[in-house]
Chains A and B, each alone.
Chain A
Amino acid sequence: MFTKILIANRGEIALRIARACKEMGIAPVAVYSDVDRVALHVAYCYEAYHIGASESRESYLNIDRIVATAKKCGAEAIHPGYGFLAENANFAQACEDAGIVFIGPTPAAIRAMGNKLGARSMMKKAGVPIVPGSDGPVSDPKEAARIAETIGYPVLLKAAAGGGGKGMRVVRGAAEFEASLKLTMGEAQASFSDASVYIEKFVENPKHIEIQVMADTHGRIITYGERECSMQRRYQKVIEEAPSPVVSPELRAALSEAGRKAAAAVNYRGAGTIEFIMDSSGKFYFLEMNTRLQVEHPVTEMVYGVDLVKQQITVADGGHLDVEQKDVVARGHAIEMRIYAEDASRGFMPSIGRINRVVLPSGPGIRNEKGVYAGYDIPIYYDPLIGKVVVWAETRIDAIQRARRALREYRCEPVRTNVDFLLWALAEPSFIDGSYHTRTIDTVFKPTSLPARDLELDLATVAAAIAAYNYRSTVRHINIDDESSSAWRRAARVEGTRRWSS
């Protein structure tokens, strides 16, 4: 087994990985940027090395520096966490070339899944359901119309050379197809100098369901059920749960089988997640595979009683997954809430500055993943995720109640956090009844969705007035221009002045 693992990450996930290392008797090594000298992961690991300036590309994205640091300190393996270099095939390759184990899949598997088009055809071949659509770019209007008819409306037109939502258009029926196609192709030509488009089935208001897989290098692939991550704001997950409230045992078996096929198709090793979109009838389609640990992995850990990070390390070391699929049984319900330093009432503006006090929720069924501490300045360079609160309870409704209780205990003062927004989300009727989908938050939430109750305003008024009263009571006697200051105090001041001037 490894004796030392370098963690090429920061924040809560660096702590999460370091904790697994310590429990396995492995020394965790931190790397840090300029501003992160005082970040929590540095103090938490056994060793820590500076790798560059605060900007990510100078430090946490600096492949050469990270690999050299691992070599120098004698780490046998590197855990990339999530984000930064976690899905960078060149990084995985650089580790391999340097004789260091990359805790994740092979560079080839990362590349295969990183190429969205290639992954799509590969999944189709492997028998994983994909969103029906054209197999390649289309530029002939007649052929396009025929494909749209075969797929069935509504369809989505996507500029072949576009990306990130640019050059996309939904077509709801044959009548508007020709005009829409002309517009999309015209825009595609103007923006990307390539008029060709992809056509695919438009899945309306889909749910986001993902399957956790873990594979060792001896051919064993274990699936750990699904997570539902449909509570998203602008495609950013904010609340995740396991299991999904709408996935039946039969559907779970089908999803898991698809996940297993996807992983097998790329000879996967380590932890991976196959993301699907699912329509309201339970039809699901492959979206992409994340070839790394997910932010929301704790909900799976809590319902399956498993430590995915330890398993990652074990299989990276060539070990066997010591578990049979039939023994993988979920119990209860888990919900994760991502705590971001942002102000929901002001368009989710990031909130930065010094944290004076952190009070994390505790009590039955609560797990905190944190990356900050009291006295810490939230830096501007990285993701505003300051922690995660994960709850477990026997039933989903108990888990929701526990989540609400936990959030009310959460304090990270005085920076603004999204706790009020999360409380709103947990009370959203479609979340409670399980019918929510990936567009729910963006269509339902408004800044005015957080109305102030009279009681809260009364309490805020009284508390702030008391704070002001106390503040003034303490500053009054150091105010030297205060006319009410007594004669002896004035005399003392004169005395002091004289002493200094003599």
Chain B
Amino acid sequence: MKFVVRVAGRESNVDIVQHNGLYEVELNGKKYTVDARNFGFTDLFSLLVDGHSFLIDSAPVRPERGEYYARVLGRHYEVDVLDELLLAARDAEKVHEHTGAYVLRAPMPGLVVHVQAEAGKHVKAGDALVIMEAMKMRNELLAEVAGVVESVAVVVGDKVDSQAPLVTITRE
């Protein structure tokens, strides 16, 4: 299986086949034999690479979008593992991202405690749109693009789920 893998701004080409219980992994043209075993859980791997031993958590998050995570040496990474199809879908999304409406979504479930965004008003990238409260902490959600606020989907006091649309901005 061939993948394009993106993590922390770095992109690699990975070709992977399973062979006699081992994974033959080609990473950016370099070949490795990886002995990967599950350690009691399907998302906990013991990796042996050339005798070097690593215990790594990795699992699908939204696999239909190619989103995975990996936790390596105390660090948590979001990893995109994309085949040709997902790569094409991502590219299409990107084009859309730069032209279509921008939708601010709730990064976590929580309570809307303040709404600065007003329909019809112009905003700059970095302007605060909504303040959400979760776990006793307030988080200011900022506009990532400049434009005109098309609609505001929430009012103060609303409880929203993760990924709920909050504010839609028409890009300029």
Residues of A within 8 A of B (CB): 341, 343, 346-353, 356-357, 378, 380-384, 407-408, 410-411, 413-414, 416-417, 419-420, 423, 450, 452, 456-473, 475
Contact = CB atoms under 8 A, between A and B. Distances in A.
Given A413-B57, A414-B59, A452-B75, A464 B27 contact: no
B156 interface: no
B113 interface: no
Given A383-B136, A457-B8, A461-B12, A468 B45 contact: no
A161 to B, nearest CB: 23
B1 A469 contact: yes
Given A350-B108, A383-B136, A459-B70, A467 B58 contact: yes
A349 B109 CA distance: 12
Contact of B7 (A353, A378, A460, A469): A460
A133 B14 CA distance: 65
Contacts of A416: 76
Interface residues on B, range: 35 or more
B139 A349 contact: yes
A383 B54 CA distance: 33
Contacts of B107: 346, 349
Contacts of B43: 356-357, 413-414, 467
Given A411-B57, A464-B7, A465-B14, A417 B76 contact: yes
Smallest CB-CB A-B distances: 10 pairs? A464-B79, A468-B81, A460-B70, A463-B58, A464-B68, A384-B135, A467-B58, A460-B77, A350-B135, A463-B56
Nearest to A359: B44
A356 to B, nearest CB: 7
A464 B44 contact: no
Given A357-B57, A469-B1, 18 more contacts: A352-B108, A380-B111, A380-B135, A383-B136, A410-B74, A423-B74, A457-B10, A459-B56, A459-B73, A460-B72, A462-B14, A462-B32, A462-B34, A463-B56, A463-B58, A464-B68, A464-B69, A469-B16
A380 B109 contact: yes
Contact of A420 (B44, B45, B56, B74): B74
B55 to A, nearest CB: 9
Contacts of B134: 350, 352, 380
Contacts of A465: 3, 5, 14, 16, 25, 81
Prevailing SS type, chain B contact patch? strand
Interface string B1-34: 1010101101010101010000101010000101
B7 A461 contact: yes
29 contacts: A341-B135, A349-B108, A350-B134, A350-B137, A352-B162, A357-B43, A382-B135, A383-B135, A407-B74, A420-B75, A420-B76, A457-B7, A458-B27, A459-B54, A459-B73, A460-B56, A460-B58, A461-B14, A461-B27, A461-B70, A462-B47, A462-B49, A463-B56, A465-B16, A467-B43, A467-B68, A468-B60, A468-B66, A469-B16
Contacts of B36: 463, 466
B98 interface: no
Contacts of A469: 1, 16, 18, 23
Contacts of A419: 74, 76
Given A461-B7, A464-B69, A468-B60, A456 B16 contact: no
A471 B70 contact: no
Nearest to A341: B135
B71 interface: yes
B110 interface: yes
A495 to B, nearest CB: 29
A87 to B, nearest CB: 16
B60 A352 contact: no
B6 to A, nearest CB: 9
B153 interface: no
Interface string B126-148: 00000000111101000000000
Contacts of A468: 1, 3, 60, 63, 66, 68, 81
Contacts of A346: 107
B119 interface: no
Contacts of B70: 459-461, 463-464, 467
Nearest to A385: B135
Contacts of B57: 357, 411, 413-414
Contact of B23 (A350, A423, A459, A466): A466
A349 B137 CA distance: 9
